[in-house]
Amino acid sequence: MNRREFLSKVSKAAILTSLSQLSCISSKIDRPNIVLVYTDDLGYGDVSCYGAHRVQTPNIDRLAREGIRFTSAYSTAATCTPSRYSLLTGEYAWRRQGTGIAPGDASLIIPTDKATLPRMLHRAGYTSAVIGKWHLGLGHGKPDWNGELSPGPLEIGFDYCFLIPATGDRVPCVYVENHRVAGLDPADPITVSFAGPLAGVPTGRNFPEQLKVGADDQHSDTIVNGISRIGYMKGGESARWVDEDMADVLTEKARSFIEKNRTTPFFLYFALHDIHVPRVPHPRFVGTTDMGARGDAIVQADWCVGEILRTLDTLNLAENTIFIFSSDNGPVLNDGYMDQAVERVGDHQQTGPLRGGKYSSFEAGTRVPFLLRWPAKVEPGESSALISQVDLFAACATLINHSLKPEEAPDSIDVLLALIGQDKIGRAHLVQEAAGGFLSLRLNQWKYIAPSKGAKYNATKGIETGRDTDPQLYDVEKDIGERENVAAENPHVVRQMQQLLEDIRQKGERFVKHQSHIDANM
């Protein structure tokens, strides 16, 4: 039975049974801990439980074995900032200006009075932390790297943060702990510039012989730890991170947060740097694959997952902890550094069977690995339910018995039953955002890509953008690789999807009538 037939057969009785099961679930559970390990740029085919064979990811695979492996789960966007914005607010990022890839000196993008997932959980008694990559801006105006970095995560509801402020490839290359740059010596203040070079500071452009890894022009500004970055910085020597130690530093912070908060319900948003560029894994992971730094960074990410699993086991917390593993967008091999990712990829399929990649409108931009383990409630298995990361907000609301107000999380659908394996359908539809804000829509077996101008292929990244001046329609159930555009044969489907996308632009997904049928007469 395909998705459409199934939907038409779902009876009222079945829905009622699910609802009563759910109320039974929420009455019996004591608020479970929630751990979200969010990898960066990890593709659908990059881990062994999704088909990779040139890299082994035993810890991530353990989550798949002991939990549910989702095959139709999506980030809301094909780049980092908008995906993270949606995850934390329950709102599609394209509704808000300024949510594209954030510059290294962006101010906080999430308004402090907005409903957020950590704030909702905080009100329900959770202690929450974001550890790792932030990339949602800090402060009002330009961040004051030598002073109070506020507002930031703590002003949108987190209780603790330890951050890579933007990305590993952007300055300033320092960690931020709560409101301050960690380990900063006031006698050696930080200067940051994205406008132009700083006098006396070597860049990759001028001193290529100082580099551990070659880079393209955009990544050829200030050299920190032998790696040139986007942007210029000076000072702050004692606070600078060492890329090779980043996974260890972040994992230790995550472990200690869990240990400290073992007796209260906690929400840990652990946003790994891996496998974003620059890929500079610790020497103990170098050479663990034959794919170069990108493969070795996947092994390192798997190690991070293993450490968190081990911590939960040791503290006897695993049983009532919801452990979610996913990625913020799809994969890219060449994202600015000459780290052999392209040369050594061989037959590894970072996108699995999907077309496109990071930045793209095609499926590989946003369809990502998604695993959920919750030993107390969830039977292991596999699910093709359609879910989006924007849904975690509404699902968590149900979990803690919070009813969403109309202005809260407008695009978040309560897919809790799908997440725990009791509903195989999930959402009826979802919107996908490619780099540049181009939108696509999934509905049943269909994927509609709205027409747009621009290059179809990004030669530097080696990725098909998915752009076309004609509408594109793919039947991703029969044609997961989006090879055959069937828009011309199905004009009524295209019309209906255009209309639905327009409706969703006007109002949040929660307020749009869920359409699970294509009307042949439209």
Give the total of residues touching ligand NG6 (CB under 6 A): 15
Contact predicate 118/128, CB 8 Å: yes
Measured at the alpha carbon of residue 448, what is the angle toward residues 447 and 451, in degrees to the nearest 5?
150
- Candidates 329-337, 369-377, 440-448, 472-480; binding stretch for ligand NG6 (CB under 6 A): 329-337
Contact predicate 178/154, CB 8 Å: yes
Residue 274 engages ligand NG6 in binding (rule: CB under 6 A): no
Contact predicate 50/67, CB 8 Å: no
CB of 101 to ligand NG6, least distance (A): 5
CB of 231 to Ca ion, least distance (A): 18
**Which of residues 56, 193, 218, 256 is near ligand NG6 by CB under 6 A?**
218
**Signed CA dihedral, 504, 506, 510, 514: sign only:** negative
**Which of residues 119, 135, 355, 429 is near ligand NG6 by CB under 6 A?**
135
- Candidates 106-114, 173-181, 281-289, 328-336; binding stretch for ligand NG6 (CB under 6 A): 328-336
Residue 27's Cβ-count burial label (10 Å; 0-12, 13-18, 19+) is: exposed
**Which of residues 33, 75, 127, 167 is near ligand NG6 by CB under 6 A?**
167
Residue 240 engages ligand NG6 in binding (rule: CB under 6 A): no
Pairing of strands 387-388, 73-74: parallel
Nearer to ligand NG6, 150 or 327 (CB): 327
Distance CA 428, CA 413 (A): 10
Distance CA 67, CA 227 (A): 38
Q: What is the DSSP string of 140-198?
A: SSS--TTS---SSGGGGT-SEEEEESS-TTBS--B-EETTEETT--TTS--EEESSSPP
Nearer to Ca ion, 50 or 374 (CB): 50
Give residues in contact with Ca ion (CB under 5 A): 40-41, 80, 328-329
Residue 76 engages ligand NG6 in binding (rule: CB under 6 A): no
Q: What is the DSSP string of 213-261?
A: SEE-GGG-SBEETTEE-BSEEE--GGGB--GGGHHHHHHHHHHHHHHHT
**Which of residues 109, 277, 425, 434 is near ligand NG6 by CB under 6 A?**
277
Per-position x/- string for 29-68, each x denoting binding to ligand NG6 as judged by CB under 6 A, each - no binding: -----------xx---------------------------
**Which of residues 335, 339, 408, 433 is near ligand NG6 by CB under 6 A?**
335
Cβ neighbors of 447 (< 8 A, separation 6 or more) are: 363, 440, 441, 472, 473, 474, 475, 476, 482
Nearer to ligand NG6, 41 or 296 (CB): 41
Nearer to ligand NG6, 3 or 276 (CB): 276
CB of 84 to ligand NG6, least distance (A): 9
Residue 106 engages ligand NG6 in binding (rule: CB under 6 A): no
Per CB under 6 A, contacts with ligand NG6 among 413-472 are: none
Residue nearest to ligand NG6 (CB): 80
Cβ neighbors of 206 (< 8 A, separation 6 or more) are: none
Pairing of strands 463-464, 337-338: unpaired
Distance CA 67, CA 113 (A): 35
Residue 234 engages ligand NG6 in binding (rule: CB under 6 A): no
Give the CA distances from residue 129 to residues 39, 86, 258, 303, 401, in Å, rounded to whole numbers and listed in that order. Answer: 16, 17, 10, 20, 21
Q: Which does 336 bind (CB under 5 to 8 A by kind): ligand NG6, Ca ion, none?
A: ligand NG6
Contact predicate 175/239, CB 8 Å: yes
Q: Which does 447 bind (CB under 5 to 8 A by kind): Ca ion, ligand NG6, none?
A: none
Contact predicate 326/371, CB 8 Å: yes
Nearer to Ca ion, 80 or 354 (CB): 80
Residue nearest to Ca ion (CB): 80
Q: Which does 296 bind (CB under 5 to 8 A by kind): Ca ion, ligand NG6, none?
A: none
Nearer to Ca ion, 80 or 441 (CB): 80
Give the CA distances from residue 208 to residues 217, 345, 469, in Å, rounded to whole numbers and listed in that order. Answer: 11, 25, 41
CB of 352 to Ca ion, least distance (A): 17
Pairing of strands 337-338, 176-177: unpaired
Contact predicate 99/109, CB 8 Å: yes
Residue 221 engages ligand NG6 in binding (rule: CB under 6 A): no
Residue 486 engages ligand NG6 in binding (rule: CB under 6 A): no
Q: Which does 426 bind (CB under 5 to 8 A by kind): ligand NG6, Ca ion, none?
A: none
Side chain identity at 300, as an amino acid letter? Q
Binding site for ligand NG6 (CB under 6 A): 40-41, 79-80, 101, 135, 167, 169, 218, 230, 276-277, 329, 335-336
